């Protein structure tokens, strides 16, 4: 694959660790993308098998996708730790 600079090469060989580990309780931030995709302010549990800046989240009280298609992925930058 094609890499433009040394940062991209390093990232492809040794990806940075995930921002949230599996089992972390997260909340959707109040930003434009989260509001548009309807997960702003929602609370969920991070599931395994994320990567590349994305995490799989099982939202509290949501059965629509989790049982039929697996857990959808969301950008790490749109989530924060729920404390």
To 10 degrees, the CA torsion angle through 68, 55, 16, 14? Answer: 10
More confident residue, 19 or 72: 19
- Which residues share a beta bridge with 55? 74
pLDDT band at residue 68, thresholds of 50, 70 and 90? low
pLDDT tens sequence across 1-55: 567 788 888 888 888 888 999 999 999 999 999 999 999 999 999 988 777 889 9
Please give the average per-residue pLDDT across 54-64, as a whole number: 83
Looking at residue 64, what is its pLDDT?
A: 66
More confident residue, 25 or 62: 25
């Amino acid at each position: 694959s094609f890499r433009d600079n040394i940062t991209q090469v390093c990232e492809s060989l040794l990806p940075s660790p995930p921002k949230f580990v599996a089992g972390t309780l997260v909340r959707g931030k109040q930003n434009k993308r989260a509001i548009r995709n309807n997960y702003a302010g929602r609370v969920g549990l991070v599931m395994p098998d994320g990567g590349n800046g994305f995490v799989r989240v099982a939202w509290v009280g949501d059965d629509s996708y989790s049982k039929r298609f697996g857990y959808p992925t969301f950008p790490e930058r749109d989530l924060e730790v729920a404390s």
